[in-house]
Amino acid sequence: MLVSFQKLIRRNCIHKDEKSEFHTRIDINKLRQAFTQIHSKLKEWNSKSLEQIEEVKPGEEKEIKSLKGEEKKLANYFSRVGDNQKIKRIFFNNPIWQLRVNGKIRIIGILEKDYIDKKFLPDNIKQNSKDLFYVLYYDFEHTSFPSSDQEQPKEEDLVCIMNENCSRYFFLPNETEEED
């Protein structure tokens, strides 16, 4: 399965409000390990066929699942920020799926099955590369569809990393800017 970042929702960072638990931030204490985990999973999915990713090993949770029926909820999450119509079009007009990175991190995106006609692909990657997953957003703290027993990080530890215009955008405190 190929993974694309072409449709990544970057500027619509969402902070928790009274109406919803949903936000797109990450616990600053998990930042370093999160990217190692995400990258190793993306690499793994990239080298597997969709059928292999869908296989559930005994004692393990599903790695990929359809979010069909959840379009309204997803559109509502994002409707308070950014271009409402554009967001609605994304969620209502595409097959939305969820990838599981680990116990906490999820990746939500569009799964286009048989996106690339197999006849155009070389034999060795025919099965693995015909399906395409567009990442829409990272759900770092699993707040889109949370489990009820889930522990949430402290509010002051949550930072934005997807929107550089946000006041809570993550930066390295000791970093000094160098002049050319």
Considering beta carbons, is residue 13 or 90 the nearer one to Zn ion? 13
The correct pick among 13, 26, 111, 161 for binding Zn ion (CB under 5 A) is 13
The reply to whether 158 sits near Zn ion by the rule CB under 5 A is no
166 near Zn ion, judged by CB under 5 A: yes
Q: Which is nearer to Zn ion, 3 or 166 (CB)?
A: 166
CA 56 to chain centre: 20
Residue with tokens 């690339």: 116
Alpha-carbon gap, residue 54 to 163, rounded angstroms: 32
Strand order in the sheet with 106-112: 2-4, 132-139, 106-112, 96-100, 64-66
Q: Does 28 bind Zn ion (CB under 5 A)?
A: no
Which CB sits closer to Zn ion, 13 or 96? 13
* Range list of H helices, 9-83: 31-46, 50-54, 71-79
Q: Does residue number 160 form part of the binding site for Zn ion (CB under 5 A)? A: yes
Cβ 177 to Zn ion shortest distance, Å: 22
Which of 133, 137 has the CB closer to Zn ion? Answer: 137
DSSP string for residues in 154-174:
PGGGEEB-S-TTSTTB---TT
**What is the closest distance, in whole angstroms, from the C-beta atom of residue 11 to Zn ion in the complex?**
10
Kindly state the number of chain residues that form the binding site for Zn ion, as judged by CB under 5 A. 4
Whether residue 97 contacts residue 109, with contact meaning beta carbons closer than 8 Å, is answered with: yes
Q: Which is nearer to Zn ion, 149 or 156 (CB)?
A: 156
Give the interface with Zn ion as residue ranges (CB under 5 A).
Answer: 13, 160, 166, 168
